[in-house]
Structure 1
Amino acid sequence: MTDPNLRIRGLSKSFGGVKALDDVDLTVPAGQVHALLGHNGAGKSTLIKCLGGAFPPDAGTIEVGGRSHTRLSPRESIAAGVAIIFQTLSVVDSLTVAENIFLGQEWTRYGTVHRRAQEEVAAGLLERVAANCSPRDRVGELPMGQRQLVEIAKALSRSASVLVLDEPTAALSGAESDALAERVEDLRTQGLAIVYVTHLLAEVERLADAVTVLRDGRVAHHSTIAGHTRRELVDAIVGRRPEPAHGTAAGRTSGGVGEPGTSDDAVEGMPPAPRLTVDAFHGPGFGPVELGVAEGEIVGLYGLIGSGRTRILETLFGRRRASGGTVRVGERAVTPVRPSDALAAGIALVPADRRRQGLFPVLSAQDNALLPSIRPLARRGMRALAAERRVFGALSQTVGLRPARPRLPAAAFSGGNQQKLVLGRWINEARSVDVLLLDEPTQGVDVGARQEIYQVVSVLAAQRGTAVLFASSDPEEVVALAHRCLIVSRGRIVGELSGAQLTEAALLSAVHDADDTAATTSTMTTSAITTSEGAA
């Protein structure tokens, strides 16, 4: 029997007295896809960085291909046969595919790079991963899914035997995710040991042979995937059964805080007052759009990639210029030409790309969360540091921030906790927001953190009467969070689901039917124009 490609024994790592990894074991034989799951902050990223040489472990061993190491440098990790594909890809957009694959290990001849030889080898590697690009293509011009395959081809060029994929589909469309899944299955048959880090349980069910769950730095669960239900995996990840968010189907049908418009301002027997009203709103790539969101109501925008969901939210927030239409917050007319106009009117946005659009990585957690609240909290032109600490402490409890360390840089937090910082920016007691816009609110966030974010948003709507409008490409999320959902196709709202009708199956059916209808209409229109032109 051959040695497994990867065997980790007793791995431990601490930061400032806090154990990020505690006696972790993990074995991945050749030809296996091993899913690594866990709550944000559970230790997944630390484990990957120890394996890739970014962090030296305090104890334990890492064995790759039968050779044991107590620690690895990045160069030693690559030489041992470990390749890690992070969420943030390391490809250089300005270089060609072949240049990226051989970056740092160029083939030279008489002091000159042998480009033709590199391109020939690159073509074979691209064929091995079934990439639809040429060795001479500029990487910056490729779709995200193809860029990811270039990264994998680069790993194979270095004779990798262990491939680690860190949230590989977080930025991919559905079609790209399906294509990547096929490549992973191909690589498994080629004998690679694959560690697949994800928060999407559907991917685990489709691809994984075995699963390990980390919780608080320790192995909480390990088994083969066969015979396990999704509920068992969720329980292993969160360590408890997650309470349903107030927007779930149970919350919608049982009354109480699950119902929209249950703020103190609601009058018994009267419909909740509209908090956000949008009429004939349009801009580049969408419209006209008409919608309303009541006090305390959570409304989803659901559609396929490119449907216009994000454009609608960004234009409401002033990040894009509207071409026409009206927006009202309560009784006030709003013209959001820039984000500052929207904020002044009580409209806030949590963007999908938190790393580039929402966070200041080098600033502390407290400064990130309280950035728009520093001036309201200030006294006589000076920062009120004691008040800021108090507000941050309360906010940390509200959103379940882990660790709740105000001075820790935002970049040091896991993805789910970074999202909590951005969300917390608009819901703390020093900030008044009437309309909260959320774009893909739990993208790249694990199951446990998702439940916490849903709970925070639901309580915000129920207790403060905030109108919440969120865009999502995840039907499970829409069902879990929304009181009702608007179907978006080709920049227009084409349908609405609510109550018992709001199910994952109904969402998928509605959006695909709408897209098919729009495509048929477009084809018929084009055909009519062509016929008319021919007759003329």
Structure 2
Amino acid sequence: MTDRTRTTGPTLRISGLTKSFGGVRALDGVDLTVPGGQVHALLGHNGAGKSTLIKCLGGAFAPDAGTIEVGGDRYARLSPRQSIAAGVAIIFQTLSVVDSLTVAENIFLGQEWTRCGRIDRRAQEEVAASLLARVAASCSPRDRVGELPMGQRQLVEIAKALSRSASVLVLDEPTAALSGAESEALAERVEDLRAQGLAIVYVTHLLAEVERLADAVTVLRDGRVTHHSAMSGRTRRELVDAVVGRPAPDAPGVTAGGAGQVAATPADGVPRVPRLLVNRLRGPGFGPVDLAVGEGEIVGLYGLIGSGRTRLLETLYGRRRAAAGTVRLGERTVAPARPADALAAGIALVPADRRRQGLFPRLSAQDNALLPTVRPLARHGVRALRGERRVFSALSQAVGLRPARPRLPASAFSGGNQQKLVLGRWINEARGVDVLLLDEPTQGVDVGARQEIYQVVAALAAERGTAVLFASSDPEEVVALAHRCLIVSRGRVVGELGGTGLTEAALLAAVHDADDNALPSRHVSEGAA
């Protein structure tokens, strides 16, 4: 955490905040104090109450009891307009900027400056320029927001908040859609805003961000504050235990890694023949790529955003057309031209954007989880409803679905449990696959659910022999889940880490070195730093 001189601004103080929905208590007497000039990390499972708390601050929900105090002004509830007037600004994961408008037009949207009955664009652009400078944005007031990278769009949103004299800034999973470089730039802006005296509530699942930025941390679980402490002296293990509510289980162990066309040697010491073999595969934005994943092996693809990881997975799944190369599953050569071809061959994909590409929000949890299973279970063309309920019940228990309510719409579940529904399609007892592709498998998922998903994937590989290939931009996740990892840069596999050499430091060094120097394909040996 950077030590720099800070200005003390207004304090945010939440006292006894309570909110229930249909008899379910989402917030239960929550207390939270964030002084000006402090970054306060808010952690907890999906469904712990973080979103409800944020929406009470923003005026979307009216609390049943308790008070919200900003700078000495106390409120029993806030309307959206009152929240803005009080100095509260919330930057959600889904940004509210309008792509078709300029940066200046977005900043002043709803509070336009007029002169002689017309919008004073010159004055707006001058003020917008000063606000952009305050957050160190590189865009111009006249740039179209839709043409900006995600990191710059987020800074525009923050500049808009500052234009309304915000003294309390709430950042909800601010780096979920950012590259490593953009995340680093945002962290520097957060430090700047803290030094300017803002009280900052930082909601995240990434503990590395908490360690770097937070002055204090509060953990919610089941709507209650279960942990509060200063960050000084806190270890990562203590944070994980606080979020999980019990000593966290150890992540799956890392076994020795292999190279080239031979799959890794697992813990039993017996080399395995590759189940997935990719040879000189090319497609739009990547290639040529050679890789192998053995039976029961979990291989990571690690690289910066834009490295080609997702394009490779989507090509293997048939969502994109390959330009050249071959894909083999065991002794069979396959060429998926569409997802249906891949599924028929035994290849399934869990996409990164589960809400848009993986989930049917209005369908029930059971229907979402058993979509590919309904036909195999059916008898003479009639759905086997009893069989479906039995399979869903076993699946819910296996993945730790909460709540395990088959008829509840998927939209009512937290992000982590939605991911379990999508993952469950390919791991239930009636529908297995030979190769499982995962793109950012725990993006936007809390610490506890991450551990459960890791255990499910590890068990799938160990017990069924499924070959797992996953792409991730989180080095901590790669170390926790992968037996070995392939470094991807500019559409090519440029290195490999495994065994004792598979560490966060080694991953970061390898990917940044490769991206900076466009290295040819190479093998990073075990123990490399």
Structure-2-length-normalised TM-score: 0.91
Contact in 2 for aligned 1:51/1:77 (Cα 8 Å): yes
Return closer, same or farther for 1:114/1:70 CA change in 2, 3 Å cut-off: same
Determine whether 1:399 maps to 2:399: yes
- Conserved in 2, the CA contact under 8 Å of 1:260 and 1:298? no
| 1:134 maps to amino acid | S
Q: Structure 2 residue aligned with 1:243, among 221, 246, 249?
A: 249
Identity, in percent, stands at: 83
What is the aligned partner in structure 2 of residue 384 from structure 1?
Answer: 384
Q: Does 1:276 align with 2:276?
A: yes
Pick the aligned partner of 2:83 from 73, 77, 93: 77
TM-aligned CA deviation for residue 306 of structure 1? 2.2
Letter in 1 for 2:295: E
Q: Equivalent of 1:173, from 179, 182, 185?
A: 179
TM superposition shift of 1:311: 1.3
Q: 2:132 matched to 1:114?
A: no
Aligned equivalents of 1:155 and 1:374: distance in 2?
48
Structure 1 residues not aligned, in runs of 5+: 254-258, 263-267, 522-536
The 8 Å contact of residues 261 and 294 in structure 1, kept in 2 or not, is answered as no
Is the contact between residue 84 and residue 165 of structure 1 (CA under 8 Å) also seen in structure 2? yes
Q: Where does residue 3 of structure 2 map in the other structure? A: none
The equivalent of 1:437 in structure 2 is 437
Q: Counterpart of 1:137 in 2: which secondary structure?
A: coil
Q: Following the alignment from structure 1 to structure 2, what is the Cα–Cα distance between the partners of residues 190 and 464?
A: 55
- For each residue in 1:228-269, what CA deviation from the matched residue of structure 2 results, as whole angstroms up to 9, or x when unmatched? 1111111111112221233x23x669xxxxx9779xxxxx98
The AA in structure 1 aligned to 2:185 is A
Q: 1:425 to 1:164 in 2, by over 3 A?
A: same
Following superposition of structure 1 onto structure 2, how do residues 133-152 of structure 1 map, counting pairs within 5 Å? 133-152=139-158
**Farther off after superposition, 114-123 or 31-40:** 114-123
Report the equivalent of 2:95: 89
Aligned twin of 2:218: 212
- Match of 2:48, SS? coil
CA contact (8 A) 1:296 1:465 kept: yes
Q: Does 1:18 align with 2:24?
A: yes
| Matched letter for residue 478 of structure 1 | V
1:300, distance to aligned residue in structure 2 (A): 0.9
Runs ≥4 residues deviating over 4 A: 259-262
Indicate conservation of the 8 Å contact 1:438/1:471, yes or no: yes
Amino acid at match of 1:225: M
Tell whether 2:139 aligns with 1:105.
Answer: no
The one-character-per-residue Cα deviations of 1:172-228 (angstroms, maximum 9, x if unpaired) are 111111111111111112221110001111111111111101112111111111111
1:226-265 alignment to 2 at 5 Å? Answer: 226-246=232-252, 248-249=253-254
Report matched runs for 1:318-397 at 5 Å. Answer: 318-397=318-397
Match of 1:531 in 2: none
For the residue of structure 1 that corresponds to 2:370, the secondary structure is helix
Seen in structure 2, the aligned counterparts of structure 1 residues 408 and 105 have a Cα distance that, compared at 3 Å, is farther
Which residue in 2 is equivalent to 1:155?
A: 161
Deviation at 1:170, TM superposition (A): 0.9
Shift, 1:19, TM fit: 2.0
Q: Does 1:223 align with 2:229?
A: yes
The answer to whether the 8 Å contact 2:256/2:498 transfers is: no
Residues 359-410 of structure 1: per-residue CA shift (max 9 Å, x gap)? 2223222222222222223333333333323222222221112222223332
Deviation at 1:411, TM superposition (A): 2.5
> Match for residue 467 of structure 2?
467
Does structure 2 retain, via aligned residues, the 8 Å contact 1:358–1:422? Answer: yes
1:293 maps to a residue whose letter is: V
1:309 CA displacement: 1.3
| Alpha-carbon distance in structure 1 between the residues aligned to 2:364 and 2:123 | 48
Report what 1:200 is aligned to: 206
Aligned to 1:55, which of 48, 53, 61?
Answer: 61
Greater alpha carbon shift after TM alignment, 300-309 vs 201-210: 300-309
Bigger shift: residues 402-411 or 199-208: 402-411
Closer, same or farther in 2 for the Cα pair 1:3/1:474, shift >3 Å?
A: closer
Match of 2:193 among 187, 196, 210: 187
Kindly state the Cα deviation for residue 161 of structure 1 after the two structures are TM-superposed.
Answer: 1.4
What amino acid maps onto 2:31 in structure 1? Answer: D
> For the residues of structure 2 that align with 1:83 and 1:488, how far apart are their CA atoms?
38
Structure 1 CA distance for aligned equivalents of residues 346 and 227 of structure 2: 45
CA 1:105–1:387: 2 relative to 1, 3 Å: farther
Structure 1 residue 467: Cα displacement: 0.5
| Residues 1:307 and 2:307 are matched in the alignment | yes
2:134 paired residue among 106, 128, 131:
128
Contact 2:9 2:198 in 1 (8 A): no
Query: Which residue identity lines up with residue 53 of structure 1 in the other structure?
Result: G
Contact 2:9 2:199 in 1 (8 A): no
The offset of 1:336, in angstroms, is 0.9
Contact 1:126-1:150 within 8 A present in 2 as well: yes
Please give the secondary structure, in 1, of the residue aligned with 2:217.
Answer: strand
User: Alpha carbons of 1:285 and 1:377: their partners in 2 closer, same or farther (altered >3 Å)?
Assistant: same
Q: How much does 1:110 deviate?
A: 4.0
> One-letter code of the match for 2:44?
G
Contact 2:17 2:64 in 1 (8 A): yes
Paired residue total: 508
Q: Partner residue of 1:476?
A: 476
Cα deviation code 1:66-118 (max 9, x no counterpart): 22222222222222221110111111111111111111222233443222222
| Cα distance change of structure 1 residues 517 and 162 upon mapping to structure 2, 3 Å threshold | closer
Q: How large is the Cα RMSD of the aligned pairs? A: 2.1
Q: Provide closer, same or farther for how the CA distance between residues 513 and 114 of structure 1 changes in structure 2, counting only shifts above 3 A.
A: closer
Q: Name the structure 2 match of 1:265.
A: none
**Structure 1 residues 387 and 190: alpha-carbon distance in aligned structure 2, compared to 1, 3 A threshold:** same
Tell which deviates more after alignment, 75-84 or 373-382: 373-382
- Distance of 2:17 and 2:67 partners within structure 1: 6
